[in-house]
Amino acid sequence: MRVLSGMRPTGKLHLGHYFGVIKNWVSLQDKHETLFFVADWHALTTAYKKTSELQENIKEVMLDWVALGLDPKKSILFIQSKVKEHAELFLLFSMITPKSWLEWNPTYKDMKYNLLKISDMEIQFRGGMRDLVKEFISKIPYKVEDFEALEELILDEVSESFVKAVFDGYLESEMLKELNVSKRDFYDTDTYGFLGYPVLQAVDILIYKANAVPVGEDQLPHIELTREIARRFNYLYGDTFPEPEALLTETPKLVGIDGRKMSKSYNNAIYFADSKNEVEQKVMRFFTDPQKLRKGDPGRPEICPVFMYHKLFTQDEKVLEIERDCRSGKLGCVECKRIMFEGLEKVLEPIREKRENLRKDMKHLEDIFDEGSEKARNIASKTLEEVREKMNLK
Ligand code: SF4
């Protein structure tokens, strides 16, 4: 079975990436033919305005992947943009994919919905300003030729400035939180590239005729779309693409130091690139059971983020002891965190070391991904030849 998956290069990887994605990839490479790619073109669907850090981010991902156990002897590791065949197949698939299939994509629908909410907010603001603007015009010490036209012009300008002010942070950010929108949603993602990115995902999978794609539940609609595109192509031009299956994997949701989902944007993550000292400081800042204020107070390990880490990084017998001593109050949070830090470091230290060694010879690492991209290209170009032939393009 051929298994393929990719990841956007958003920078250094954290523990959440490992438990959510990479750990599964590492085990898959022992059982199947595997291809893993850095999806740098996908990074542009939302972050096309800021590409200054793109190359650095790609390098960080390459370092983490290999340090975490992705093995170029077992898997093809490659960079999406180095296999230009993806772009040609993207163009060809764009010709056969109905626009309505893309507009049903939940991510796209969310973005559109947010735009509608913003436009509602703008309409309400406009309505609320009308009387004030009328009053303002009536006080202008000049003869007004067309009262209504001037009123509309001022309202247009004021409401446009209002929305801009919201996004530029001049107004309470709570308002944005309530609307659940970001500046990015509003300005950056209403593009052809964003609408079409599921087609590019279909290309990434089908160009290698992958049979299975490890994904989270939120990605299921994309796999379904890939299958639909494969079916449509096969129907129009003859059997070419297998319909890939989603490989759903249960992964523990790792929380960050503040108890929320671990994420770069929450600034709560522990990175593989962090030094021992940085990890220690982060562990000491971990949220714990808020009712356990001091040693002696009984705690509730089931709601404590530190205990979640003990279950992953501390020896089983010790975990039982910690659970008991936390509940009785015998164990204090500072000591508990220290034990957790020791267990965590046992895992992080060798990875950090491997990462540092890899960094010393970036040329070698780049060669690994160049060779992988060449291997990927060999597969992709064969598929493309078949596609061109079936579509009478040669
Ligand atoms: S003792 Fe440990 S498990 Fe219990 S609340 Fe404190 S940090 Fe959490």
Whether residue 305 has its Cβ less than 6 Å from ligand 1: no
Indicate the top mutation candidate among 285, 288, 341 to test ligand 1's pocket, ranked by most ligand atoms within 8 A of CB. 288
Q: Ligand 1 center to residue 13 CA distance, Å?
A: 26
Whether residue 289 has its Cβ less than 6 Å from ligand 1: yes
Q: What is the mean pLDDT of residues 115-143?
A: 83
Domains and CATH numbers, the chain: 2-102+192-254+362-390 (3.40.50.620), 107-188 (no CATH), 274-360 (1.10.240.10)
User: Do residues 202 and 230 make contact, with C-beta atoms less than 8 angstroms apart?
Assistant: yes
Tell me which of 261 and 209 has the higher pLDDT. Answer: 209
Q: Ligand 1 center to residue 136 CA distance, Å?
A: 61
Q: Ligand 1 center to residue 299 CA distance, Å?
A: 6
Q: What is the pLDDT of residue 186?
A: 52
Q: What is the pLDDT of residue 350?
A: 97
Q: What is the pLDDT of residue 124?
A: 79
- Is it the case that residue 176 has pLDDT exceeding 80? no
User: Do residues 340 and 279 make contact, with C-beta atoms less than 8 angstroms apart?
Assistant: no
Whether residue 326 has its Cβ less than 6 Å from ligand 1: yes
Least reliable range by pLDDT among 81-95, 109-123, 205-219: 109-123
Q: What is the residue with the minimal CA distance to atom 4 of ligand 1?
A: 326
Task: Ligand 1, residue 304: give the atom nearest the CA.
Answer: 8
Q: Ligand 1 center to residue 252 CA distance, Å?
A: 20
Q: Which among 42-51, 144-153, 154-163 has the top mean pLDDT? A: 144-153
- Is it the case that residue 55 has pLDDT exceeding 80? yes
Task: Ligand 1, residue 337: give the atom nearest the CA.
Answer: 7
Tell me which of 201 and 248 has the higher pLDDT. Answer: 201
- Is it the case that residue 183 has pLDDT exceeding 60? no
The Cα 5–Cα 278 span in angstroms is 31
Cα-Cα-Cα-Cα torsion 275, 278, 284, 285, nearest 10 degrees, comes to -140
Q: Ligand 1 center to residue 319 CA distance, Å?
A: 11
- Is it the case that residue 187 has pLDDT exceeding 60? no
Using 50, 70 and 90 to split pLDDT, how confident is the model at 163?
confident
Whether residue 199 has its Cβ less than 6 Å from ligand 1: no
CA distances from 59 to 6, 34, 78 (A): 15, 21, 12
Q: Ligand 1 center to residue 341 CA distance, Å?
A: 13
The Cα 125–Cα 371 span in angstroms is 57
Q: What is the mean pLDDT of residues 3-20?
A: 94
Whether residue 301 has its Cβ less than 6 Å from ligand 1: yes
User: Do residues 317 and 351 make contact, with C-beta atoms less than 8 angstroms apart?
Assistant: no
Q: Ligand 1 center to residue 284 CA distance, Å?
A: 12
Q: Ligand 1 center to residue 297 CA distance, Å?
A: 10
**Helices 305-313 and 316-328: angle between axes, nearest 10 degrees:** 160
Least reliable range by pLDDT among 19-28, 206-215, 249-258, 304-313: 249-258
Residue with token string 């250094």 = 12
Q: What is the pLDDT of residue 200?
A: 97
Q: What is the pLDDT of residue 270?
A: 96
Least reliable range by pLDDT among 172-176, 273-277, 288-292: 172-176
Using 50, 70 and 90 to split pLDDT, how confident is the model at 108?
confident
- Is it the case that residue 230 has pLDDT exceeding 90? yes
Q: What is the residue with the minimal CA distance to atom 7 of ligand 1?
A: 333
Q: What is the pLDDT of residue 26?
A: 97
Indicate the top mutation candidate among 293, 326, 327 to test ligand 1's pocket, ranked by most ligand atoms within 8 A of CB. 326
Q: What is the pLDDT of residue 263?
A: 86
Residue with token string 């981010």 = 57
Whether residue 283 has its Cβ less than 6 Å from ligand 1: no
Residue count of the chain, please give it. 394
Q: What is the pLDDT of residue 264?
A: 82
Least reliable range by pLDDT among 34-43, 120-129, 329-338: 120-129
**CB within 8 Å of 2: residues ≥ 6 apart:** 32, 33, 34, 35, 208, 209, 210, 211, 212
Task: Give the tens place of pLDDT for each residue, 346-379.
Answer: 999 999 999 999 999 999 999 999 999 999 999 9
Whether residue 319 has its Cβ less than 6 Å from ligand 1: no
